[in-house]
Amino acid sequence: MIYFLGIGGIGMSALAQWCKQQGLAIAGYDRARTAITEGLEAQGINISYQDDSDTIPEEFIAEHPGRLVVYTPAIPRENRIRITLEQLGVPFLKRSEMLGMVTEPYLQWPWQVRTAKLPLVP
């Protein structure tokens, strides 16, 4: 399961949707309900709008491998959900790190296409 802190941002919401499409369990927090978060909720993603550790899904609190928090630096260190997840020892990744992991398999693709044996045009 991946918990997104700041799930309502355009980059975070795109990552959350991609992860959901890959079959991963997703939940998250954002401080405001928006059209983006409502769209995520319509896809079955559980989102909390309260900075309250009691809103973290129970299945995420239970210790098991595969738990991950993806966060945006816009979430302050004082955020109670963040503090609780850190205390639980859940691994944290910045949004940019997660994006790098997601896109890594595709980094070679454009290079391979450009270097393929194509007819040369003078």
Given pLDDT bands bounded at 50, 70 and 90, which one contains residue 53?
very high
pLDDT at 37 (0 to 100): 97
CB atoms within 10 A of CB 55: 16
pLDDT at 69 (0 to 100): 96
CB 81 within 8 A of CB 50: no
- Residue in the structure block whose two tokens are 């693709």: 109
CATH 3.40.1260.10 fits 2-115, yes or no: no
The Cα 94–Cα 116 span in angstroms is 35
Residue ranges covered by each domain of the chain: 2-115
Query: At residue 11, does pLDDT exceed 80?
Result: yes
pLDDT at 122 (0 to 100): 43
- The mean pLDDT of the chain is 87
pLDDT at 24 (0 to 100): 93
Given pLDDT bands bounded at 50, 70 and 90, which one contains residue 121?
very low
Query: At residue 101, does pLDDT exceed 90?
Result: no
Query: At residue 91, does pLDDT exceed 70?
Result: yes
The Cα 82–Cα 80 span in angstroms is 5
pLDDT at 112 (0 to 100): 55
Question: Which amino acid belongs to residue 67?
Answer: R
Question: Which amino acid belongs to residue 105?
Answer: P
- Residue in the structure block whose two tokens are 């896109």: 103
Mean pLDDT for 82-87 is 95
Nearest to 11 by CA among 91, 72, 77, 93: 72
3-state secondary structure of 112: helix
